[in-house]
Structure 1
Amino acid sequence: MKMIRGTAINLLGYVAMAGVVLADDLHSNTAGNSEENVKKFSIAFVNDIHAQLEPHPELYWNNDDAQREMRAGGLSRIKTAFDRLADERPHGILKVDGGDTFQGSGPAAWTEGEVMVRPLNALGFDVAIPGNWSVVYGADRLRTLRDQVNYPMIAANIYDKDSGERTFQPTLVKEMGGVKVGLVGFTDPDVPSRQPPFMSEGLKFSAAKELQPLIDGLREDDEVDVVVLISHIGLHKAVPLTEKLRGVDIHLSADTHERTYDPIVVGDAWVVEAGAFGALVGVMDVSVRDGKVVDRKWELIELRENAYPEDEQIKKIVDEELAPHRERMNREIGHTDIWLERYNVMTSSMDRLIANAVKETADVDVGLSNGYRFSPPTAPGPITEADLWNWLPINLDLKTGIVKGQQFIDYWESEFENVFSFNPDRLYGGWLARPSTNMQVRFDSTAAAGERLRSLTIDGDPVEPDKDYTLAAGSRPGQPESQIHRVKGCRATKTMKETTHDAVREYLAKPEHAGKSEVASEPKSTDAKMTLSESALSESPVQCVVRGDQLRSQFQTFVEERQKARQKHKLKDQSPDTTEN
């Protein structure tokens, strides 16, 4: 049983305290129901495509945790999967996009999402919701993209700040296979703070308290048989939200890129998430009798190259849309002998490279890279401009400053709470920030808030609270002048002319990082024809003393840790009312 792949620790902290369970037999809750008077429909679900139009290198894991490396995904393979599912299910299939679709690649950034419109319209979606990155090109562009796609986008909690009117319709009713299905859309209410504020200027985001009246309206006024909630708040928040709501049968979750091979059962509802980057499609088959769900089956399909050929029509459209950008996309800036990925909560090879590049370009004590989740892996071989824009689809100016050691200590405790909090409402943003490899961080994720850090060193020396240190990171537009990344109160801050992209390109081109290619398995410069030194990226700078850096441990281990931690800190066995925030 594969259960959950991804951040896991956030969700499972809640699972352990709330008694939420996973479906035992991987797929179905059949209880000997007769087929008499049963109507059926199916849902095909993708989320967090992040503008990955084409097949790309991907990582999957077997039940024994063995890593499998291959090419997968792409909109052309999603279409093949949709068509196969529809052929196998004559009762009808509802195709759903869970958001964060128009952001995450170079061509999408260069065209403000335009490159996605034709391929998406050819895929035949029935409904979509906006994600937290839907505002990346501004409110006006969000409205334009909404109007350009040939399927409805729904979201109950986005309003025009001036008129007070909803930017999207909140719900949608569809009839599939004789089943009346009500859908509710809900996106991240933290968008104005998670994303730079200027991106969502002119929009207002409300919280989950208005969902229950909409669900009740679908049940009572529209007389739907099944209610499907589509949210973009992350699996760790989707689970407790589902527990607070009445009348939800299915909750399609997005944002955290989790691979839920097994559905999460919350009362009468199933909560699922379908990975990211178009590498997986989730399918749920639903049986209904007398207006009630009597059976469900869930499967998460891996869109592997050898199992799902590309649909030729979609491939042609994608090729046409990308043709003006190919030269720029294919420009080589470096080379890697290892997989560069971003699939771990605490650290990743991709971000160690970025943080080290920031440190060297800015000539500071510590470089930081944000804990982004987007970007598929980069396989061994050339590193291109397309790869760089996948890693960093927003090119930020570098910003430097001076901090006391205590500020670093406070910063990491805050980051731990954002990612490992026992309170689902305090979980915030992406994964842990990634420091340059000369900063070593050791912590206990099961400790109480403010008490998790165990040791913090820079270049092997313990960080001294009263000592000055220099740091650098990408400068987020709209943040206070005295803030670098989420380190507050920085002194002597300065915005450099170099950007995060400049830093990575310069880092890959420096011959002093060269090592012996037969020993080192790290990125190397295309121009210098040398391999970066083994020490450049190989050591993990962030280590959890409880689990090490392997966040793909067994489910039960996480549950036991969280239960013990909650007993240790005498935390109440309940979650806050997320519908009131």
Structure 2
Amino acid sequence: MSSPDSTPTAPAAVDATAPMPATRRALLTGALTGGAALAAAGYSPAAWADEDVQRGTPGRRIRVTVLGTTDLHGNVYNWDYFKNAEFDNKTHDDIGLAKVATLVKGVRAELAAKRNPHPVLTLDAGDTIQGTPLAYYYAKIKPIGGDVVHPMATAMNLVGYDAAALGNHEFNYGLDLLRTFEDQLDFPLLGANAVDPATKRPMFPPYVIKRYRVGRGRTLTVGVLGLTNPGIAIWDKANVEGKMEFPGLVEQAQKFVPIMKKKGCDLVIVSAHSGADTSSSYGDALPFPENAASLVAEQVPNVDAILVGHAHKEIPQRFVRNAETGQQVLLVEPYYWGMRLAVMDFVVQETYSRKGRLKWVLVSSGGQVLNSNTVEEDAEVAAALREQHDTVVGYVNSVVGTSVSELRAERGVVEDIAIMDFVQYVQAGAVKAGLTGADAALPVLSIAAPFARGAVFPQGEVSVRDVAGLYIYDNTLLGVRITGKQLAEYLEFSARYFKTVTTTTAPVGEVTNAVTETAPNGTPDYNFDSVAGLDAPLTYDIDLAQPVGSRIKNLAYDGTAVTDDQQFVMAVNNYRQSGGGGFPHVPTAPVVYNRQNEIRQLLIDWVLEHKVIDPAEFASVDWRLVVGGEPLTVTFPAG
């Protein structure tokens, strides 16, 4: 770990002096190597930067490069654990830090071959230790600690990161595991806006300062500020409430950037686990926006660039004008899962202050992203994690039971289907078994969202990965008490997922993923909840010919219309109960069940115990889509 900078205003900041890379290594393997492999990945050597360096008279000019990743989500290899095959998608992207490592080392080698001093930093913008069975296994099945090192820690240390910002998913497994992961890293985890509730001081280093020797008696100082997502206070409330607070990105950047400049930072780079386009999935539950990177650029002076994360978007280069200084601040976001590597180039020029002190000023900047699907995995990273990977592959392919018939999830976005009923049934059953007192006499309902359209339980043997592929998030189960009126309003909110439809037959693309004020790119599947009853059916129609807010029709429990004051217990996940998605009532409803049981593990345990998945035990059609009261037929593309 780098040494701490123990100033009163930034007690946990990190300040280190880094030597310049001196030698070029042959790093790239496969059919294409060296510059050819980088060119195939989309690397343009930023000729404009070299030209700007050459024009550096009378003041000397230096080029600085920042390499960046984000939202790796536990992906080391180009592997889909749920399909037990190499990862592939419609655009044939590859994933994984092993491939990104090849790009990182390749760019470093190219730049090290240049004559001029050329500082290179490698950063990450968060969401590292959650998202794959590989990450889950070493958080829950065989938790890290002692001789057990998190695979992402091993891989990132081998790549040689300089710093990483905290992502919201870093908090999914609790603070103890996060601190253990932090201890296993050779670089700091930054979080200027993860603060102590009492002192309001950061509980992680807010920034790191790197000083590069760029000539005789000359030092270039680069500061990296780390910012995470305020939504952690909602999404992981059970893990952080009373232990940590998460003020806004703009507010904390306004506090720490001046400190970094005072400490001599010639360049200030922000690594932010926050999207570029301002929005918040949690509505007005917090005063701070979820996606605020562009606001930091616009409102905080002296920020030179932002490595953007969280939104899972690809932004090769975007400039945002700072309202106070007029500076054009560079934003780059390298997609997610290791599909891309961000490359940000800067040219700084030597100048002198009025007091005669040497300093550097930014002359020009630009960004690009490299595609990891053109290179081979880095052999060093791939070899280091192979044993852990093989262990997890064996785990996810172990058989836990059998299914009487094939159950598919694709149509769960438009129909009440058996595989979704399975989730409802297990959740509601677990909550009912844990109720006590008067709550034990109430009807139990359950919510579920279609997380993975491609999930399938095959007829015959069902493995861990089959079940985990249906429930892909590490959510925990809670039970809350609600009224019939609140239930109806919850369902109306959920029905915003659908577009208005006026015909009784429509393709799926014209039915689902409606654009709303909080979902400008379309409502994601995970924000469509259906609700089911355990001991009796909860039935309702969703009339898509009606305006939003008036779509739920014929709502009944056990054949009798639901009344406003009728009471239910509803099984929900921690994301919903803490406000995720902005659904009404559930975040403020009395919690009557909370054993911190992970829903995915409950599903796996149910299959292990019962051995057979038989839809006859739990499946029924209790809700449907209609248009003007007539059933809606939704068509899907062939194949």
**TM range, normalised to the smaller chain?**
0.5 to 0.7
Q: 1:85 aligns with which of 104, 107, 110?
A: 107
Sort the Cα spacing of 1:229 and 1:151 in 2 relative to 1 into closer, same or farther, 3 A. Answer: same
SS in structure 2 at match of 1:203: coil
1:188 pairs with 217, 229, 237, which one?
229
Q: CA deviation at 1:49?
A: 1.6
Give the distance between the partners of 1:370 and 1:376, measured in 2 at CA. 10
Q: CA deviation at 1:272?
A: 2.8
User: Compared with structure 1, are the counterparts of its residues 275 and 176 closer, same or farther at alpha carbon in structure 2 (3 Å cutoff)?
Assistant: farther
Q: After TM superposition, give the deviation of residue 170 of structure 1 in Å.
A: 1.4
- Offset at residue 165 of structure 1 (A): 4.9
- Cα distance in 1, alignment partners of residues 78 and 167 from structure 2: 22
Check if 1:133 corresponds to 2:169. Answer: yes
Paired letter, 2:530: P
Match of 2:150 among 95, 102, 115: 115
Structure 1's 254 and 434: CA in aligned 2 closer, same or farther, altered over 3 A? farther
CA distance in 1, matches of 2:367, 2:611: 47
Cα displacement string for residues 337-361 of structure 1 (whole angstroms, at most 9, x for unaligned residues): 99979xxxxx969998874432344
1:217 to 228, 236, 259: 259
> C-alpha displacement at 1:397, in angstroms?
3.8
Q: Report the CA distance between 1:150 and its aligned residue.
A: 0.4
Partner of 1:9: none
Look up the SS of the partner of 1:277 in the other structure.
Answer: coil
Alpha-carbon distance, 1:154 to partner: 1.7
Match of 2:613 among 510, 513, 518: 510
1:227 corresponds to 2:268? yes
Does residue 453 (structure 1) correspond to residue 522 (structure 2)? The answer is no
Structure-2 change in CA distance of 1:370 and 1:216 (3 Å): farther
CA contact (8 A) 1:475 1:485 kept: no
If the length of structure 1 is used for normalisation, what is the TM-score?
A: 0.64
Could you tell me which of 245, 248, 254 is aligned with 1:207? 248
RMSD across aligned positions (CA):
5.4
Q: Does 1:487 align with 2:583?
A: no
Gaps of 5+ in 2: 1-42, 82-88, 113-117, 215-219, 279-290, 323-327, 351-360, 430-442, 498-513, 533-538, 627-633, 635-639
Does the CA-based 8 Å contact 2:492-2:552 persist in structure 1?
A: no
Q: Deviations over 1:244-270 (max 9, x none)?
A: 211212112222222324535344112
- After TM superposition, give the deviation of residue 229 of structure 1 in Å: 1.2
Say which SS state the counterpart of residue 338 (structure 2) adopts: coil
Q: Does 1:294 align with 2:389?
A: no
SS at match of 1:72: coil
How far is 1:452 from its partner? Answer: 4.8
- The one of 242, 257, 266 equivalent to 2:297 is 242
Identical counterparts, % of pairs:
18
Alignment pair present for 1:256 and 2:311: yes
Which residue number corresponds to residue 62 of structure 1?
Answer: none
Change (3 A) 1:207 1:266: same
TM-aligned CA distance change 1:222 to 1:500, over 3 Å: same
Between the aligned partners of 2:256 and 2:524, the Cα distance in structure 1 is 27
What is the deviation of 1:151? 0.9
Q: In the alignment, which of 517, 522, 530 is matched to residue 435 of structure 1?
A: 530
Q: 1:41 Cα shift?
A: 2.0
Matched, 1:357 2:404: no
Q: Is the 8 A contact 2:495 2:548 kept in 1?
A: no
Secondary structure of the residue that 2:188 maps to in structure 1? coil
Q: Tell me: CA distance 1:102–1:360, structure 2 relative to 1, closer, same or farther (3 Å).
A: same
The 1:29/1:192 distance shift into structure 2, 3 A limit, reads: farther
Structure 1 position 402, deviation (Å): 5.7
Q: 1:404 to 1:232 in 2, by over 3 A?
A: same
The amino acid across from 2:372 in the alignment is L
In 1, the alpha carbon distance for the partners of 2:109 and 2:254 equals 35
Aligned residues between the structures: 472
Deviations 1:368-418 (CA, angstroms, capped at 9, x unpaired):
33698xx9987999975246557445363464766415543256549979x
The whole-number CA distance in structure 2 between the counterparts of 1:430 and 1:126 is 36
Aligned counterpart in structure 1 of residue 191 of structure 2, from 155, 178, 199: 155
User: Does the Cα contact within 8 Å between 1:473 and 1:484 map onto a contact in 2?
Assistant: no
2:527 and 2:232 map into 1 onto residues whose CA distance is: 18
- For residue 172 of structure 1, report the CA deviation from its aligned partner: 1.6
Instruction: Check if 1:313 corresponds to 2:380.
Output: yes
Distance in 2 separating the partners of 1:181 and 1:376: 45
1:252 alignment partner AA: L
RCO higher in structure (CA 8 A, sep ≥6): 1
**1:101 — aligned with what?**
128
Equivalent position of 1:476 in the other structure: 574
> Are the counterparts in 1 of residues 306 and 332 from structure 2 also a CA contact under 8 Å?
yes
Q: CA deviation at 1:185?
A: 0.9
Separation (CA, whole Å) in 2 of partners of 1:82 and 1:274: 13
Letter in 2 for 1:166: P
Residue 365 (structure 1) shift: 9.4
In the alignment, the residues of structure 2 paired with residue 358 and residue 283 of structure 1 have an alpha-carbon distance, to the nearest angstrom, of 42
* Residues 150 and 181 in structure 2, CA contact (< 8 A), matched pair in contact too: no
